[in-house]
Amino acid sequence: MNWLIIDFGNTRLKWAQWNDNQLGPENAIEYGCYSLQQLWNQCWGNLTHPQRVIVVSVAEQRANRSLSAWCDETWGIPAEFLHSSAWACGVSNGYQNPSRLGVDRWAALIAVQQRFPGQTVCIADCGTAVTIDALDGNGQHLGGVILPGLNAMRASLQSSTAGINLQESPPISESGDFGRDTESAITLGCLCAITGAMAQTAGKLGKTAESEVICIITGGNAEQLFSCLDGKWQHRPKLVLEGAMILADNNTTTST
């Protein structure tokens, strides 16, 4: 069995291959500087022919159609797109309109349900946006919160405040507890906002949980944020890809 599992986010494309019941290393690329055709060729032009292509996408439909057409032309197989549903693989969707829950969040919920059955879990996916979702021990998704991601927060301040010129990638580990210049102070403020929201959401979940809350962080900025969190948080970089594989194995995909 050789499957290509793809997580097509707002700014990053991530993928891994599923071979012999094992998910291989995650690959990732920020795709803003590529045309779609260049992107597909850059990522998978030399890839061994997969048997299935499974896609979790929050990108626009034009990009999804381009990916599907490339898979058909290159490998003669459709790209199979996952969608959120009211229930799957032991998880009940907490949204009033289940289809409106981002499919990347849905896949992450599926993955933690399989990995931590019967446990209460808080999941923070930290990318262009930060989404924090709550799952109880019965597999019920309780909902979540959404806030801007680290780079979006910084960019918002730069665009709406005069006299601020921020570097693209701040050295977070060198910032210390208090900023001694505007850039480090802004970086620390953004970190405090995100990690504070994560801690507050996990704390609220813990008030009603029957056991200790398992806290998971994933996403493109997870590694940066992880060093600022306490020891109860676990970094699971392939969480969405793991959930996508589980959903695909249960035949919940459609072609686009």
Q: For residue 46, give both structure tokens.
A: 């030399």
Query: From residue 1, how far is each of 17, 18, 25, 101, 118 by CA, in Å?
Result: 10, 7, 16, 30, 30
Q: Any residues with CB less than 8 A from the CB of 68 and at least 6 apart, and which?
A: 78, 79, 81, 255, 256
- 67 by Cβ neighbours in 10 Å (0-12 / 13-18 / 19+) ranks as buried
Contact 108, 243 (CB under 8 A): yes
User: Cα–Cα distance between 243 and 85 in angstroms, integer?
Assistant: 14
Closest among 88, 20, 21, 64 to 251, alpha carbons compared: 88
**What is the Rg, in whole angstroms, of the alpha carbon atoms belonging to the chain?**
19
List alpha helices for the chain, DSSP H: 36-44, 61-75, 103-115, 150-160, 182-208, 222-226, 239-249
189: its two tokens: 């403020």
Pair 28, 14: CB distance under 8 Å: yes
Catalytic residues: 104
